[in-house]
Amino acid sequence: MTSTGHRLSAIAEAVGGRLLQGDGHTLVTHLAIDSRKAMPREGVLFIALQGERHDGHRYIPDLVDAGVRSFLIRSGAPTEGLEGCHVIAVPDTLDALQRLAAWHRGHIHAPVIGITGSNGKTIVKEWLAQLLQQEEHIARSPGSWNSQVGVPLSVWAMNARHTLGIFEAGISRPGEMEHLRPIIHPTIGLITNIGPAHAENFRDDREKALEKLKLFSDAQALVYCRDHGTVHKAIFGSGLDKDLILRDWSREEFAYVQVTREERGPTGCRITALHDHLEFTFELPFTDHASVENALHCVTLLLHLGRTPEHIAESMRTLAPVAMRLEMVEGAKGSLLINDAYSNDEASLRIALDHLMANGRDRRRVVVLSDIEQSGEPPEALYQRIAHAIAHAQVDRVLTVGPHLAAHAKLLHGNVRTYPDTEALLQGVDTEELAGAAVLVKGARRFALERAVERWQAQVHGTVLEVELEAVRHNLNHYRALLRPGTRVMPMVKAFGYGSGAVELARLFAYERVDMLGVAYADEGIALRQAGIAVPILVMNPEPVPFDLLHRFDLEAEVYDERSLLQAIAFHQQRADGPPVHLKIDTGMHRLGFLVDELPRLLELLKEAPFLRVGSIFSHLAASEDPAHDAFTREQIARFIQAADRIDAVLGYRPLRHIANSGGISRFPEAHFDMVRPGIGLHGVGVDAAETRLLRPAATLRTVIAQLKQIPAGESVSYGLHGRSTHDRRVAVLPVGYADGLFRTAGHGKGKAFVHDAPAPYVGTICMDMCMVDVTDISCSEGDPVVLFGGPHPVSDYAHDLDTIPYEALTAVGQRVKRVFVHGD
């Protein structure tokens, strides 16, 4: 993140560090913590953060090679290779980052709004920015940057040009808010609500509320909903009511803003409220309870800022939905579209460019960018920085939309085309020129660049499998945190990535620097190589495939019996540069692998082929997730160790060892060995309910209501004249069937979909392309979204209803179902 800058000597003093070497007059304008992301060479300070799962010090040599010259490191960390660099040493680099941001905040005199709560923080922040952007030059948290790291990076980006800051703060355990309070140092506070998130780390909701309210101990005013009893009592219990101006709103009693009437229609909600003894009315383009609550927070804060009810009513009518995540969809002609077409500012553009780099590293990169509006600064300086950011992202082509970018197109290097508006863009760009490219579409709301995404995406039907890549990243880090330092990780991406899209998951895992990828068959590995994936790939269930084909695509083969071993030996006699092989031992699964009594022949053949390189020895646990079979699992581990020791003795060296799948990682630390192979756990399914709560569901299967029908009592629904009822019903027809992976066993009320989070049982027989659900008691319309599984409705529950397991439920989702990949913030 970028600010106007501070000298290194001042930074060292502010964070309580020591300038070990270099020039203290060096100006720092940009902070970086992730070596994978684009950053300028000049003015950047890399802060080497350490955690349970990472150590930024490991990547300093790569950054030096890339031209970075200023570093903040842990005291005692090695400085070899840092000759000619500027280095500050501190006891704790995270603490230094937070102290630096708090010190920087002390140089800012504009008012700051601080937002906390369990839900709605990002929505409220983004809506406040929408409502105030015409009048204020706003600095705000990009996306959901509300963590111990995200908050200081967000505040660092605020500078003297800004007239207002809006920052959100999230915590997960007691004591964390004390670190964030001096960084945000809010003038006005807003707490949304208290919900169940992170409940495991607090005694009760009261303790959680009191911890969150610590953010506002030095504020001047506080906005909140009086009807949230826990919040209201915590405010008065903490004594904040004596120190702050309270700006409350309520549906139930007298308040600063008192809601007297809510009228919901098909497309919006009309709200009547009392403020200062005067009644006023405004309309929202939303009807759901959460959006109305978030909007009322905004209305209350705007009234506190002195905005008139008339001004507020006019502004609220145009509130736009907040795109919480970057969406990736398959484009026409093999392109990948990254859709961020609903907002455009410098901070969110940099985040979007990071995603483009991560997911388009093996493709041509194209950026479609609209003018940045209401930035509050000279366009020349703004677009100069934008040009640098695009250059650092190694973008091959830029397509601009709007007059301001057209006027400054000379600042953008390389292949640039300008268009006055979105219509001209659609007329001027053919999908053929985007073939195979990764295309970031980033634009301010008024340009409606979502039209370009709709035009350029591959045409599919309305059922989609939405895969949240941030959830997969979270789950990967969960398993990494259970490992000893140095233990390698090989995520499994077989079976189309457990139905979620192998190529996209492989790109994510490559970006996260995993050590290997596991696939079932050679064609899966070949597809990854053809997509540009360079990570080592192990083919674990090889069909009779020629070894020269595997070698041509740099795939490493499993060897599991005498026949496959002899083929490997024959190939490696001719090709000394062939990839290593991996020996599979059958320790009790009785699928592929050498049985224990086959080891003598295996050892004999290995002795005769000293030229054969063995990359690893591995096996497969049959029941690692089931405590009832722990004795058998431990017996498998013991057999594996004995077999691997015998193989090591013959080879004269020690190949890698691996046996632990997701369940083995969680429940058997002694089975981690040199590498682990997480699979279903990466998709949010743990070994038990406790672990599943620590994971995040990655996949959501969605569809829409195609038609609503009133079915009289006694009438049947679907094939076979089944699904009769004794009462009148309303039935929704959904465009998803068993050809899409919805099992026929879900029919006749055994399974259920969710319409507006309400369960809707399947009626009658599941058809090939469609199914019907009962929505008699659910308020819904044609076109409304429907969830089959995902989010609060886990795939494990869905699988249970269908008498199957999550593995089968995920991998059964048909290829014609569009995969949409989203990035949480």
> Using H for helix, E for strand and C for coil, what is the string for 105-169?
HCCCCCCEEEEECCCCHHHHHHHHHHHHCCCCCEEECCCCCCCCCHHHHHHHCCCCCCCEEEEEC
Distance between CA atoms of residues 39 and 37, nearest Å:
6
Please list, residue by residue across 787-796, b when 16 or more beta carbons sit within 10 angstroms of its beta carbon and e when fewer do: bbbbeebbbb
For residues 332 and 346, give the distance between their C-alpha atoms in angstroms, rounded to a whole number: 28
Q: Are 268 and 282 in contact (CB under 8 A)?
A: no
Task: Give first-to-last CA distance, the chain, whole Å.
Answer: 15
Contact 539, 562 (CB under 8 A): no
Per-residue tokens: 157: 């980006």
d(CA 817, CA 448): 26
* Residue 493 contacts residue 525 (beta carbons within 8 Å): no
CA 641 – CA 635 distance, rounded (Å): 10
- Do residues 669 and 482 touch, judged by C-beta distance below 8 A? yes
C-alpha separations of 59 from 162, 364, 629, 705, 742 in Å: 34, 26, 42, 50, 45
**Contacts for 798 with CB less than 8 Å, ≥ 6 apart:** 751, 788, 789, 809
- Residues pairing with 594 in the sheet: 585
Dihedral sign of CA atoms 373, 378, 380, 383 in order: negative
Which one-letter amino acid corresponds to residue 680? I
CA-angle at 488, arms to 482 and 489, nearest 5°: 75
Catalytic member of 494, 560, 584, 798: 494
Secondary-structure breakdown of the chain: helix, strand, coil percentages, each rounded to the nearest 5: 35, 25, 40
Catalytic, 125? Answer no
Instruction: Give the DSSP per-residue string, 311-352.
Output: HHHHHHTT------SEEEEEBGGG-EEEEETT---HHHHHHH
Give me the residue label for tokens 């399974």. Answer: 751
Q: What are phi and psi of 34, to 5 degrees?
A: -125, 115
Residue 34, token pair as written in the block = 């992730």
719 is catalytic: yes
Classified as helix, coil or strand, 554 is coil
Distance CA 140, CA 766 (A): 48
By C-alpha distance, which of 537, 573, 528, 527 is closest to 557? 537
Residue 597: partners with Cβ closer than 8 Å, 6 or more residues away: none
- The residues that are catalytic are 494, 719
